[in-house]
Structure 1
Amino acid sequence: MGRVVLVHGVAQQTMGPETLAAQWLPALRDGVALAGGTLSSATVTMAFYGDVFRPAGTRSLGEPPLTADDVTDPLDQELLLTWWAEAARIDPGVCGPAATTRLRTPFVIQRALDALSHSRFFSGLADHLLVGALRQVRRYLTDDEIRQRIRQRVLDALTEDTRLLVAHSLGSVVAYEALHAVGAAYPQALVTLGSPLGIRGMIFDRLAPAPRAGAGQWPPQLESWTNIADRGDVVALVKTLAPVFPGALTDVSVHNGTKAHDARPYLTARETGDAVRTALERLP
């Protein structure tokens, strides 16, 4: 098992731990190299949970792709409209939701999906993929059985040798909760990429353990936490986590280009590489 454990985000249900690691590892090693360090692939493990969201196969042709009509859960709707509003705020090419269209109707949901799919941050992403991503976030937060299965995948990947978790998107929520559940003195460092942890109501207030007095609880064994966000990342709606997670947390800004939320540009960033290199050099 590795000194570094990677935790992915949504929409990886057709991947596998080796397949996904083969994409992540070269990118992360590039980031570390740009920061003046080295990272051996033998020291890195992927905590994979994508298959938890993969439906069982059937003899039929399968269900039709998800559409706006399938966005019926209030949490899905709220998260979608929040992404839309943020995309419109930071992308001049996206028309935002007018005050008169904030009703929960299929028409408004379709407008939101259309706007996001044509934004420079979600360009080319089909509606059914966006809807599927919304569902995975909501299912993790509201289905206790799924939440436990996914969190256990991270716990199973941790050993007494593990010193650092690197987590992207929803994976940052999973990693944060796993750190509280592990009940041991490891790992001691966390790097979050494109994290939605600070979104109040939808994410922050649903964390386990729950926030206290408006502040997220600090994992007891954690010595350092670096949170990295592109200012154009609409998923990482709250870019700075230090104000809501009091502790040794450093917020760092990066520029990922048009694919602001993608894992690969986060991993290749010198800032990410520096956070990983520094954590591993400091820890025994």
Structure 2
Amino acid sequence: MEVPGKAQLVFVHGIGGVRDSADESRTWLTALADGARDAGHADAVSGLTQGWLAETRFVNYSDLFAPIGTQGAGETGECGDVEQIAFLGALVRELTDELLSQAQEQGDAHALRVIADALPQFPNDTGELQGTGEPLRVLARILTTLLQLPGLRRASQWASGWPLLGQLAQVGQYLDRRAHGRRDGNLDALIRQRVLDSVDPERPLVVVAHSLGSVVAYEALHHLAQPTRLFITLGAPLATAAVVLNRVIPRPARTPHSVERWLNFWDRDDIVVCRPRIKDWMLPNSAGVVPVTRRVDSDGIWVHTSTKYLRQPAVAGPIAEALKQS
């Protein structure tokens, strides 16, 4: 059943390995349908899974990233890119500081002991995070220590700091803005173009972006004119102001003009997300729209996954409502 004028649902993935677009799209839609059912939108479930409620596009840019160890950092490889190492050092430090702030507010003695073990591992001078090999091992050890926090140990998909560091490096690669010898253009422009090429300019949009995808979608939406009924960001590193928000384009950061509503969701056990303060840092668009942040609590393991967020009724409900608008 084709619905004339139906919205286009656009999924934008985040950090991680190479993906299969068809498999990922089915997985995201299934999780979203589960969440919609729990949110009281059982009538939308078949429309989501069978495709008649919305035209769905999964934006896949995972193949564009250089393997860890070629650009950025590797477990055994060397990295001479001082700017990339400095970015990773600043990002890991900001994540650590945020975890410390939360532990202090909650009076969590065990978490404070874990973070107390991590903090001395940071160099006294950020300039020490230069050279090859060793700075990356330092950052990986710090992340391995942080992954011993009770919530992160229970909820993390990373067995150690190395795979997490490799995936955090993708954020730095995107925000680097340099070509690094690529003949096809800068990485960030190539990734944004994948989003723009997926969009039907004749349809209103509902955009759901996860992790690094929230940064990609945020920048891409500034280039689109058609209405975005709803912009959903999940586990978004946009909240890490010092190292991410201050590098996004355009600056100063502003809600894209086409966005009619922006909901930002975070889980307290999602290490990629610092406590969201996006509303305080993001200027409104001409309609006065700013991101509204809501916290969700996921049980079990692997909190920093799109499907964990999409199965939350608080996340899936507004998406179903936006897609059912005529």
- TM category (shorter chain) comes to 0.7 to 0.9
Could you say if the C-alpha distance between residues 173 and 110 of structure 1 is closer, same or farther in structure 2, counting changes exceeding 3 Å?
Answer: closer
The equivalent of 1:196 in structure 2 is: 237
- Number of residue-to-residue matches in the alignment: 270
Which stretches in structure 1 are left out of the alignment for 5+ residues? Answer: 57-63
The equivalent of 2:13 in structure 1 is: 8
- Kindly name which structure, 1 or 2, has the bigger radius of gyration based on alpha carbons: 2
TM-score by length of 1: 0.84
* One of 62, 65, 68 as aligned partner of 1:50: 62
* One of 206, 215, 236 as aligned partner of 1:173: 215
Report the secondary structure of 1:251's partner residue: strand
Report the secondary structure of 2:233's partner residue: strand
User: What's the RMSD between the two structures over aligned residues?
Assistant: 2.8
The equivalent of 1:137 in structure 2 is: 171
Residue 226 of structure 1, CA deviation: 0.7
* One of 162, 184, 188 as aligned partner of 1:128: 162
> What amino acid is aligned across from residue 206 of structure 2 in structure 1?
L
The equivalent of 1:148 in structure 2 is: 189
1:80 is the counterpart of 2:92: yes
Residue 66 of structure 1, CA deviation: 1.9
State how far apart, in whole Å, the 2-side matches of 1:68 and 1:202 are: 24
State how far apart, in whole Å, the 2-side matches of 1:222 and 1:270 are: 22
> What amino acid is aligned across from residue 198 of structure 1 in structure 2?
A
Matches within 5 A, 1:232-243: 232-243=269-280
Matches within 5 A, 1:1-284: 3-13=8-18, 15-37=19-41, 38=44, 39-41=47-49, 42=51, 43=54, 44-53=56-65, 55=67, 66=75, 73-88=85-100, 89-90=102-103, 92-93=110-111, 94-96=114-116, 97-98=118-119, 101-103=122-124, 104=128, 106=135, 108-119=138-149, 120-121=151-152, 122=156, 124-144=158-178, 145-159=186-200, 160-182=202-224, 184-211=225-252, 216-245=253-282, 246=284, 247-257=289-299, 258-282=301-325, 284=326
TM-score by length of 2: 0.74
State how far apart, in whole Å, the 1-side matches of 2:290 and 2:140 are: 41
Residue 8 of structure 1, CA deviation: 0.5
Aligned partners of 2:230 and 2:322 also within 8 Å: yes
* Deviation per residue, 1:143-168 (Å, 9 max, x gap): 35100011111111111224200000
Which stretches in structure 2 are left out of the alignment for 5+ residues? Answer: 1-5, 130-134, 179-185
Report the secondary structure of 2:292's partner residue: strand
Could you say if the C-alpha distance between residues 192 and 131 of structure 1 is closer, same or farther in structure 2, counting changes exceeding 3 Å?
Answer: same
Aligned partners of 1:67 and 1:127 also within 8 Å: no
State how far apart, in whole Å, the 1-side matches of 2:293 and 2:277 are: 6
Residue 68 of structure 1, CA deviation: 9.6
* Deviation per residue, 1:101-124 (Å, 9 max, x gap): 443454742431321343442364
Report the secondary structure of 1:242's partner residue: helix
